[in-house]
Amino acid sequence: MVAQRAIVIGGGAAGMSAAAKAKRTNPAIDIVVYERSGYVSYGACGFPYAIKGEIARIEDVVVRTPAQFAQQGIQALIHHEVLTIDTARQRVLVRDLHTGREFTDHWDELVVTTGGQPARPPLPGLDLPGVFGLRSVEEAISIKTWIGEQRPQTGVIIGGGYIGLEMAEALDAHGIALTLVERLPHVLPTFDPEVAEQVEEELRRQRVDVRLGQAVQAIVGNERVRGVVVDGQTIPAEIVILAAGVKPSVGLVRETGIALGPTGAIAVDDHQRTNVPHVWAAGDVAEVYHRVTGKPAWIPLGTTANKQGRVAGANLAGGNARFGGVVGTTVVKVFEREVAISGLSLTRAKVEGFDAVSVSATASSRAHYMPGHQPLTVTLVFDRSSRRLLGGQLIGREGVAKRVDTIAAALQAGWTIDEFAELDLSYAPPFAPVWDPLLVAANLARR
């Protein structure tokens, strides 16, 4: 029987994709979305660029408003927090954060899209003014407001992942002297060290003080943040960005019978069904199937969230959509470098049990005689015995995003390194040399 009422918990990419697709699939469904913050359907990946000033207003990252969804017949209620889920009675307890009123609501189908939550290390001083996370529109607005009003001259970024690196560039644009602290030996831990070291070199070239393998012990200040204690040394900081990673926001589903998978996120099948009938999950709160390892994975990306949400929405409305999994493709801009990965690093491939080897090649991004050509380094990882392509990493000043997508397509198809080397890639002097850097690396692997 097709659902008559669907409740979506969370109004981010996955939640609003699910609601919109369900309504298109079956216009008769009554859909309500409960969102704790003041915004729905926004591109969080744009926050660093709005803070930097490349985007005029933080609010410009909002794709659609509750009023626009209402025109589609979807009720998106902001400032409403779901407190509990009763899977036996198919009810949720909701609090209106404006009025404090609590009420119950009933579903025929429930979609959990509560997303991820920032890792908050147990540090003294986390609540000082001037210390920020970056997961919501409100937090992005607060950061930009703080910079505009307080004019910080020094800052510390805790964490060397994607958000930390993008925020380094954003804060640098405001003339803030930066220190980036990463407790692991390198930034970008999903990459192999040889690639991460080039990113660290770029950060230092841009006058960012990079502290690797060091632990933050406290954040200090009085009426506002004044510094960060790292391995016994106090680093001056008038703004601090917490970018120490995220984890699936599963607190709401604990004790509900909704099963978590080995990654700690909600376990789902390829239709986005959980183990509880009529309960679906999508986005950063849910696991994905990794097409290279063949195992569940947790890879919180906006692209995946939109796709999973769309599948969940179609299926709860009576459809039969399927999400086939991911290969883990990401790209990030770090000042003047572009860095990307798809599939597994050599380190990860060995951990997963592959007989993995890698090759690296540096070639020109365009024909060597074209103005503006830049060196581009490609690392390809493959299985020694089967020769199956397992992953690729790229770093350069241009042309990285286009090429990592080629690697992603090959991984999706399950190609060998030899099949990859036979690709018929485009060539024109302004865009690529006759032998594209991808093919240079692949041919090196064939020797």
CA distance 299 to 290: 9
What's the CA gap between 420 and 424, in Å, rounded?
Answer: 9
User: Residue 376: in which H helix or E strand, if any?
Assistant: strand 375-383
What angle (nearest 5°) sits at the alpha carbon of residue 400, between those of residues 422 and 334? 160
Cβ atoms 412, 328 nearer than 8 A: no
Rounded distance between C-alpha atoms, residue 316 and residue 98, angstroms: 30
Please report which helix (H) or strand (E) contains residue 235, including its range: strand 233-236
Spacing of C-alpha 65 from chain mean position: 22
d(CA 146, CA 167): 14
Burial 115-147 (b: 16+ CB within 10 A, else e): bbbbeebebebeebebbbbbbbbebbbbbbebb
- Locate 402 and state its tokens: 């286009």
User: Among 7, 45, 4, 39, which residue's Cα sits nearest to residue 281?
Assistant: 7
Decide the pairing of beta strands 246-248 and 116-118.
antiparallel
Residue 45 is a catalytic residue? yes
* Choice among 5, 45, 105, 212 that is catalytic: 45
What amino acid is encoded at 252 in this protein? L
Residues forming beta bridges with residue 279, ordered by sequence position = 110
Spatial contact of 315 and 321, defined as CB atoms under 8 Å apart: yes
Distance CA 113, CA 136 (A): 15
Q: Is 343 left (phi over 0), alpha (psi -120 to 50) or beta?
A: left
Q: Which of these, 130, 139, 127, lies nearest to 157 by C-alpha position? A: 130
Q: In what order do the strands lie in the sheet with 216-221?
A: 216-221, 225-230, 233-236
Token readout for 98 is 């404006």
Q: What does the block give as tokens for 38?
A: 């003041």
The sign one gets for the Cα dihedral 105, 139, 333, 345 is negative
Residues involved in catalysis: 45
